[in-house]
């Protein structure tokens, strides 16, 4: 039994999901003729109370398309220093859009209105025009921390007043919403565009959806083509995504429970210096390198068939997911509780 805690992207489609994929009604999506893709796009647009949506191969693509549509070359966007769009998208902000990122030091990866306000550039010839704010929910690099609506709404209000666009990298938005019990419709009201991933905690093999108003999605579709993301009979994948949205959202709380148990277990271990707060399905902790280094820890667990991800020097990330069973969880806790 291999236990893979490197990411919630390692899941494989269950037989019911595969059956839903087999039943897809596909067509050439570049001509807009794939019924299953159209169904997914309508479903997700309605879910967030928006006019339109666009199915894309990855969350990197949905984020990068949004940045491209919302900005002009030479502009600046504001995001937290932990943001996925900055750290893990291959420099795409500058590569694709000719835009620079101003990195803000938020709290557990989260921005607030005053931090944003004091970083919006004034209208001078020599300053870079600020045109976009990007939030991430949950914040991957900050240990899966959550924005509540009462934190997002004042940011949305500020962006509206200052005529800035507001994009949400919601790769793990549903992990946040099952905890806050807030509605997708309320989230939809706050943002100009939202990206959700179907292949993270939700368990679909491929795909992300970008959601916004008609004009935004019209432009986004052109950019998707330029980025090489125009797909043909991809309805098989869209059906997997629909299945994931309909069946795998509410169960995310089980992943969170397991992650919190791992966090609690690590809390009082001599080989651990610090565990970040566990809010959802991500556990990030710093080892005490005098006792065990990141490399040694990784090797020790690998010997027990447990895969984990190094997240910087002597820092480890473990992510719980759909395919991480109770039995696996018991084994992991036993090993973490042993003297290693
Ligand atoms: C995974 C992830 C993405 C998208 O990544 P892809 O691997 O391109 O699908 C975007 N944002 C966050 C926060 C993520 O964790």
Asked if residues 299 and 232 have their Cβ atoms less than 8 Å apart, the reply is no
Gap between the Cα atoms of 295 and 104, Å rounded: 30
Atom 14 (ligand 1): residue with closest C-alpha?
Answer: 171
Tokens for 192, please give them.
Answer: 């100009």
**59 CB within 6 A, ligand 1:** yes
Beta strand 272-275 with 208-212 is unpaired
pLDDT tens profile 202-221: 999 999 999 999 999 999 99
Residue 121 has a pLDDT of 98
Residue 340 in this model has a pLDDT that exceeds 80 = no
**169 CB within 6 A, ligand 1:** yes
Gap between the Cα atoms of 255 and 180, Å rounded: 15
Place of tokens 């869209």: 238
Of residues 36 and 339, the one with the higher pLDDT is 36
Ligand 1 atom at minimum distance from 58 CA: 9
**pTM of the predicted protein model:** 0.97
Proportion of the chain above pLDDT 90, given as a percent: 97
Residue 339 has a pLDDT of 73
**84 CB within 6 A, ligand 1:** yes
Asked if residues 4 and 12 have their Cβ atoms less than 8 Å apart, the reply is no
Q: How far apart are the first and last CA of the chain?
A: 19
Cα of 339 to ligand 1 centre, how many Å? 34
| Average pLDDT estimate for 315-329 | 97
* Mean pLDDT of the residues in the chain: 97
Atom 6 (ligand 1): residue with closest C-alpha?
Answer: 59
pLDDT tens profile 5-34: 999 999 999 999 999 999 999 999 999 999
Atom 4 (ligand 1): residue with closest C-alpha?
Answer: 59
pLDDT tens profile 43-59: 999 999 999 999 999 99
| Average pLDDT estimate for 192-203 | 97
Gap between the Cα atoms of 293 and 283, Å rounded: 17
CATH number of 251-336: 3.90.1150.10
DSSP code per residue over 70-122: H--TT-EEEEETT-HHHHSSTTHHHHHH--EEEEE--BTTB--HHHHHTTSPP
pLDDT tens profile 124-175: 999 999 999 999 999 999 999 999 999 999 999 999 999 999 999 999 999 9
Band of pLDDT at residue 311, cut at 50, 70 and 90: confident
285 φ, ψ (degrees, to nearest 5) = -145, 155
Which range among 37-51, 60-74, 305-319 shows the weakest confidence by mean pLDDT?
305-319
Asked if residues 336 and 269 have their Cβ atoms less than 8 Å apart, the reply is yes
**58 CB within 6 A, ligand 1:** yes
| Average pLDDT estimate for 54-65 | 98
Which range among 112-116, 263-267, 312-316 shows the weakest confidence by mean pLDDT?
312-316
Cα of 59 to ligand 1 centre, how many Å? 5
Question: Is residue 123 classed exposed, middle or buried when 0-12, 13-18 and 19+ CB atoms within 10 A define those classes?
Answer: exposed
**269 CB within 6 A, ligand 1:** no
Map out the domains of the chain as residue ranges: 15-247, 251-336
Residue 312 has a pLDDT of 84
Fold topology of 15-247: 3.40.640
Ligand 1 atom at minimum distance from 89 CA: 8
Band of pLDDT at residue 230, cut at 50, 70 and 90: very high
Residue 46 has a pLDDT of 98
Q: How many helices (H) and strands (E) does the chain have?
A: 14, 13
Residue 332 has a pLDDT of 97
């Amino acid at each position: 039994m291999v236990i893979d805690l490197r990411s919630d992207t390692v899941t494989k489609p269950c037989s019911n999901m595969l059956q839903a994929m087999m039943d897809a009604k596909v067509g050439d999506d570049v001509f807009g003729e794939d019924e299953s893709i159209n169904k997914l796009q309508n479903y997700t647009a309605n879910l967030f109370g928006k006019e339109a949506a666009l199915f894309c191969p990855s969350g990197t693509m949905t984020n990068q398309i949004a940045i491209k549509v919302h900005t002009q070359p030479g502009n600046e966007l504001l995001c937290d220093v932990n943001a996925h769009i900055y750290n893990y998208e291959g420099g795409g902000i500058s590569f694709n859009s000719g835009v620079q990122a101003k990195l803000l030091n938020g709290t557990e990866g989260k921005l607030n209105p005053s931090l944003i306000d004091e970083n919006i550039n004034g209208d001078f010839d020599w300053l870079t025009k600020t045109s976009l704010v990007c939030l991430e929910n949950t914040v991957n690099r900050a240990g899966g921390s959550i924005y509540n609506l009462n934190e997002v709404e004042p940011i949305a209000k500020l962006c509206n007043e200052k005529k800035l666009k507001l994009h949400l990298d919601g790769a793990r938005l549903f992990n946040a919403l099952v905890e806050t019990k807030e509605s997708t419709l309320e989230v939809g009201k706050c943002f100009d565009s939202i990206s959700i991933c179907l292949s993270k905690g939700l368990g679909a093999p491929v795909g992300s959806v970008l959601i916004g108003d008609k004009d935004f999605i019209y432009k986004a579709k052109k950019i998707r083509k330029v980025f090489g993301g125009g797909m043909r009979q991809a309805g098989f994948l869209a059906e997997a995504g629909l299945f994931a949205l309909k069946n795998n959202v509410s169960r995310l709380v089980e992943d969170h429970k397991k992650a919190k148990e791992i966090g609690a277990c690590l809390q009082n271990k001599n080989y651990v210096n610090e565990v970040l707060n566990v809010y959802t399905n991500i556990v990030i902790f710093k080892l005490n390198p005098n006792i065990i280094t990141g490399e040694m820890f990784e090797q020790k667990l690998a010997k027990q068939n447990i895969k984990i991800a190094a997240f910087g020097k002597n820092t480890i990330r473990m992510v719980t997911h759909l395919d991480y069973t109770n039995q696996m969880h018991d084994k992991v806790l036993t090993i973490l509780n042993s003297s290693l």
